[in-house]
Amino acid sequence: MIKRTLKEISLMVCGELQTRDNEKLIIKGVSINSKEISNGNIYIPIIRNKNGHDYIKEAIKNGASAVLWQKDQLNPPINDIPTIIVEDTLKALQKLANNYRNQLNVKVIGITGSNGKTTTKDMLASVLSPVFKVHKTQGNLNGKYGVPLTILNISDDSQVAVLEMGMSEKGEIETLSKIANPDIVVITMIGVSHISNLGSRSEISKAKLEIIKGLKPGGCLIYNGDEPLLKKGIETLDMKEYEKFSFGKSSCNDFYISSVLHEFNKIKFQVNDLSIPTYELNILGKHNVFNALAAIAVAKKMGISNEHILSGLSNVNLTGMRMEMISSEYGFKVINDAWNASPDSVQSAIETFQDLEGFGKKILVLGDMLELGSDEIRYHKEIAQDINSEKIYALFTYGNLAKYIAEEFEKKARNDIVIKCYQDMDNILKDLLTITDEKDIILVKGSRGMNLDALVTKLAKL
């Protein structure tokens, strides 16, 4: 984590230290949460739904050594704690992270995309860790607060930082990229997440391509070459000083899949680079093959050996709630994919789920897909086309939008398939227990805002 004197911090944020008495005080780490202060931290109050400046007393009580203070806020705590006055605390946080990043001898890899960011990050960190000391984004710290905090938590001796970059609006990825100044950037894919804010997939593609804005001279772009919008967007950019590599299904890509074999809890696949005959992933989801392909492309660029690539991919530990298989006390299995949902990720999850062998009844629990804009009902109805009535025993939906999946599926489903719509999670739990045996398996998938992980927790703790 960042360790600098208070004077150095004030210079890095272009702030005004209110007293010179403490300018040699060593600051150890940064926090924007007054409840999660560690001794030696500098507390940076951010104005969001709540005003972080209102919690300065709590921050001091929990061990903050110093504080940034936004100029337009009243009563700076100059007499209570060493204080640096800045114009804007969020911009100061971002400026501090950028300056710290540029003081570090670390290669930064930035990853964005509508889906697959977190999984690609986890895979890449696993592949690189045997060779480099790697720091990666934890949890969902991938936005305008999370990326700076992740950077500020990098240790001085880290050699590689793998940073996930998320967005909800235009300009956000550009800001994050300019903070992180990545050496390599990855764009996993373009979907329809956040289309309600950006208007179209074309605009989403443009927003994701903003990641190039902070790419270091001589840097490298690795992107999904199966996406026409990305290819078209890249053609309009001046990329002469950058390297480019594409990955995907098509043989036109630099890295492409030549075969895929699904086994129980395992995927084997081959790529056009025959230096490794077969790769293995001990995780579910055909879509994860393409996340692995992006990680392979980065690893090859960084000179990682075939041995370490193979080992890293076969032993990757994914962040939770992403096709995570859990056993209940009653013996049946639950696949927890409740972190988020978009049409692409739901389609892929259903496809993987339906192809699983060795189980009894297969039961789908699908929640609303959020932030899909004016076409949200159509997107939900289209999911029904991905459900194979010969492979699914029951479909339960949760929420006002997911019911359209059920209504559409009912038009083509066999009469003996159980189809129910819910607004109450406890009723889903009750009915699942009625129809589920020890050999069965349940897929739980929905947008984060639907909180379906709560249902998974109840199922797992039976």
Mean pLDDT by 10 residues, the chain (462 residues): 97 94 95 95 96 96 97 95 97 98 97 93 96 92 95 97 94 97 97 81 94 96 96 90 94 93 81 86 85 96 94 85 82 90 90 89 96 92 95 96 96 93 95 93 94 92 68
Give the Å distances, CA to CA, from 286 to 112, 261, 269, 385, 389.
19, 9, 10, 18, 20
Q: Where along the chain do its domains lie?
A: 3-87, 104-314, 324-460
What's the fold here for domain 3-87? 3.40.1390
Specify the pLDDT at position 173. Answer: 97
Distance CA 30, CA 270 (A): 44
CATH class of 104-314: alpha beta
Phi, psi of 228 (to 5 degrees): -55, -35
State the maximum Cα–Cα separation within the chain, in Å, rounded to a whole number: 79
Residues with Cβ within 8 Å of 49's Cβ and at least 6 positions away in sequence, in order, are none
Same fold, 3-87 and 324-460: no
Distance CA 341, CA 127 (A): 26
What angle, 0 to 180 degrees and rounded to 10, lies between the N-to-C axes of helices 403-410 and 376-383? 50
CA-CA-CA-CA dihedral for 167, 170, 172, 173, to nearest 10: 80
Distance CA 410, CA 296 (A): 41
Specify the pLDDT at position 322. Answer: 75
Q: Is there a contact between 405 and 380 (Cβ–Cβ < 8 Å)?
A: yes
Specify the pLDDT at position 321. Answer: 67
Specify the pLDDT at position 133. Answer: 97
Tokens standing for 376?
Answer: 């949200």
Beta strands in 55-106 (DSSP E): 66-70, 83-86
DSSP state of 375: G
What angle, 0 to 180 degrees and rounded to 10, lies between the N-to-C axes of helices 425-435 and 453-460? 40
Q: Are strands 3-5 and 26-28 parallel, antiparallel or unpaired?
A: antiparallel
Give the Å distances, CA to CA, from 123 to 127, 298, 307, 373.
6, 11, 15, 31
CATH of 324-460, one of 3.90.190.20, 3.30.70.860, 3.40.50.300, 1.10.3720.10: 3.90.190.20
Give the Å distances, CA to CA, from 187 to 44, 269, 281, 440.
31, 21, 21, 36
3-state secondary structure (DSSP) of residue 444? strand
Residues with Cβ within 8 Å of 17's Cβ and at least 6 positions away in sequence, in order, are 6, 7, 10, 23, 82, 83, 84
Tokens standing for 169?
Answer: 């609006």
- Which secondary structure element, helix H or strand E, spans residue 271, and what is its range? strand 266-271
Distance CA 413, CA 433 (A): 22
CA-CA-CA-CA dihedral for 244, 248, 251, 252, to nearest 10: -40
